[in-house]
Amino acid sequence: MYQLEEQFWFWALALIPVFLLGTLLVQLWKKRARRRFADEELMEYLSPDRSPFKAILKLIFRCLAIAFLVLALVNPKIGSKLETVKREGVDIVFAVDVSKSMLAEDVAPNRLEKAKQLVSQVINNLVSDRIGIIAYAGKAFPQLPITTDYGVGKMFLQNLSTDMLSSQGTAIEQALLLAQTYYNDEAQTNRILFVISDGEDHGEVSVKDVAEQVAEQGIRIFTIGVGENQGVPIPIKQNGVMISYKKDDNGEVVITKRNESTLKDIAEAANGLYIDGNSTNEVIDQVTEILSQMNKTEFELTEFAEFKDQFQWFLGLGILFLILDLLFLERKTAWIKRLNLFNENL
């Protein structure tokens, strides 16, 4: 197991292409200057010891030095000790709607991105709770099993898109049924399911009845509605440029709007609460209040408890390549030149 302590230093890797571009421009300038002074054959005669290979080798050394010094600043750490620790928390599952209607742009940048932002902000405010993620459209898909690794959770969250499920439409009951399998401790009473959606439901069964069934297993459902109540079309984009709007089988433009009544019915049936998802601050405040009122369950977790700094290895390699750059001169090595490997005229 490893950690990257100061990840923001990765931006410094951008110095490498900038350095390469600068070196290329300098070499072009030198080449033009030499041409004004003499032709290539005369320059070869006047500077017989100049080595293009060593110039490239020194450039590689400098780039490697920058890369390793940046990694030293990032300070990778390696876990050195496994330890079983006890935590208290709540098991939280996020069911995120990834149907095409979530591409509507009545909230910026669109409903799906807004939903992902809300979940990410909620995760940022968690301490010791466990999380899981479900993606659903016409069917539900387990995206992330219950875990305490928030970094992995946010990574999986960012991968959510409307193209990940071939079965379109919106069947909220599929997400509710799948969520039942996420909680592995039958004795738990602190099970929470957040459904983040625009509320449109095309399922064939009553989602309210399914919510009541889920609630009987001790799972409280809280719904977060994203989008506006006024209808808007669903844009179809190609390479970030809108080319048309989604149409139905009759060629009519599909209009989608937030269906608060469905989301409120689900929350009411499962002893939960409906939250307006268009206000991020309101969502965070209400979720924080909800979690503060929940009984915490103690669970054991095996994790790396000690991490040792590894920056010194990268710092040493960076300094080594800087020294090599200083030691190598941009002229041919004498003993290699004497070998005359390329049958040069001496």
Q: Which residues pair with 162 in a beta bridge?
A: none
Mean pLDDT throughout 237-258?
87
pLDDT value at residue 238: 82
- Residue 333: its pLDDT value, please? 54
Stretch 229-234: mean pLDDT: 90
What residue ranges do the domains of the chain occupy?
Answer: 2-75+310-339, 84-301
**How far, in whole angstroms, is CA 272 from its chain's centroid?**
30
Q: Distance between CA 73 and CA 342 in Å, rounded?
A: 43
The residues, any chain, with a CB within 8 Å of residue 290's CB and separated by 6 or more, are: 192, 222, 273
One-letter identity of residue 260: E
CATH code for the part of the protein at 84-301:
3.40.50.410
Q: pLDDT digit string (tens) for 142-185?
A: 999 988 888 889 999 999 998 887 666 678 999 999 998 888 66
Q: Please provide the size of the chain in residues.
A: 346
**pLDDT band at 297; cut points 50, 70, 90:** confident
pTM of the shown model: 0.65
- CA dist 84 and 299 (Å) reads 10
Q: Average pLDDT over the chain, rounded to whole?
A: 83
pLDDT at 346: 45
What pLDDT was estimated at residue 85? 64
Confidence of residue 8 (pLDDT cuts 50, 70, 90): confident
Asked if residue 114 has pLDDT above 50, the reply is: yes
19 with 66: CB under 8 angstroms?
yes
Distances (CA, A) of 308 to 32, 72, 80, 81, 149: 51, 13, 7, 10, 19
The CA distance from 149 to 131, in Å, is: 8
Confidence category of residue 327, pLDDT binned at 50, 70, 90: confident
Q: Which of 79-83, 115-119, 280-284 has the lowest mean pLDDT?
A: 79-83
How distant, in Å, are the alpha carbons of 15, 171, 211, 264, 268 from that of 217?
Answer: 55, 21, 10, 20, 15
Q: What is the rounded distance in angstroms from the CA atom of residue 147 to the CA atom of residue 129?
A: 9
| Terminal Cα distance for the chain, rounded | 57
Residue-wise pLDDT tens digits, 37-74: 666 666 565 565 566 677 788 888 999 999 999 999 99
